[in-house]
A and B are shown apart, each in its own frame.
Chain A
Amino acid sequence: MSTPTTRSVTHATFHIERVFDCTPARLWRAFSNPAQKAAWACHETWAMEEMTFAVGGREVAGGSDAGGPFWKFDGTYLDIVEGERFVVAYTMSRDEVRVSASIITWEIFADPGGARLKFADQGAYLDGHADPAEREAGSGVGLDNLEAMLRAEREGVLT
């Protein structure tokens, strides 16, 4: 007999802002080009299943660490202003149980240091399955990967 799920929703918003040492156009390409996006956003054990960068288009990626649960990101693009801004709505699932639904606004601005990225994640965390602090930390890891990819490119290292 399964235990009935206790329903709950925790709403949370977090913001991340970073400056990348590249042009705004280069940073935009890292988000809008599927191969580029997969290169930094997917963990080593994750794979991009689908990505259509257009309003109404989907981005689906998933994977699992050895022996761990299967995680899935299922996103739909809601808004795109070329080179400047996009909004994606997404759910995260763990072993096919939805743990959250969120929207992220990504904005890119010219900056004296290169390109400034503003990231706002507005999420509904479901039934106690997910935690905003963990999500924020995970998002930071993704941006670390993006930074590493851009640094390797500047330094002429093949990735």
Chain B
Amino acid sequence: MTDGTVTHATLCLDRVYDAAPARVYEAFTDPAARRRWFFQADHWALHRHSGGETAVGAAESSAFSPPGADVVITNDSVYMDVVPNERLVFAYQMTVAGKPISASLATAEFRPEGQGTRLVFTEQGAYFDDPGQVAGREEGTRELLEALAAELEGRVRVRIPQPDRSIESFETPA
């Protein structure tokens, strides 16, 4: 059973990185890099992660938990369109504690800008039951784009969550 509501929303975020599009694309898609910035930044715990091929129809499946929490979140995604170094489109669905919370289509465009790259990220999502998820997803996605910046600078972002979000620090991977 659900409470019968689905909220549809489109989120548009972008960030400029001081790295060429091919480098940003590689960090975005490489499985080892993804484990660092996408799954394990900020001390999130990664329980499982499979997939890693960047090809149309290829899937990635993962389960993880926020720092200090037992709740398991899953993310299952499939690539819909792949233009190396230029564009990725993927669909993904997420669950929290076994309950589906959303299904989304995400477009990542890697546009050259000066010596760097403007990553334009568009998420078109269907959010189940709780409309407040939209704001949360936007914030979470923005944090991921920051974690990707740290990855590109050879750092792992370690933000210790604080009510005012004031503390942010970085570690260099061993």
A→B interface (CB under 8 Å): 7, 9, 11, 13, 15, 55-56, 76, 78-79, 81, 84-85, 87, 89, 91, 98, 101-103, 105, 107, 109, 120, 122-124, 126
Contacting A89 at CB < 8 Å: which of B6, B87, B91?
A: B91
Verify A11–B122 contact, CB threshold 8 A.
yes
B40 at the interface (CB under 8 A from A): no
Q: Please, which residues of chain A bring their CB within 8 A of the CB of B8?
A: 13, 15, 105, 120, 122
Q: Which residues of A contact B124 (CB under 8 A)?
A: 11, 13, 103, 122-124
Interface extent on B, as a size class?
A: 20 to 34
The answer, among B4, B56, B87, B126, for a CB contact under 8 Å with A105, is: B126
Instruction: Using A76-B91, A84-B2 as known contacts, say yes or no to A101 and B103 having CB atoms under 8 A apart.
Output: no
> Which residues of chain B come closer than 8 Å to A107, judged between CB atoms?
6
CB of B81 within 8 A of CB of A78, answer no
Q: Which of A85, A87, A101 contacts B89 (CB 8 A)?
A: A101
Q: Which residues in window 1-45 of B have CB below 8 A to A?
A: 2, 4, 6, 8, 10
List, sorted by A's number, 27 A–B pairs whose CB atoms are closer than 8 Å: A7-B83, A7-B86, A9-B109, A11-B10, A11-B122, A13-B10, A13-B124, A55-B93, A76-B91, A78-B91, A79-B93, A79-B100, A84-B2, A85-B2, A85-B6, A89-B103, A91-B80, A98-B80, A101-B105, A103-B103, A105-B8, A120-B6, A122-B105, A122-B124, A122-B126, A124-B105, A124-B107
State the majority secondary structure of interface residues on A: strand
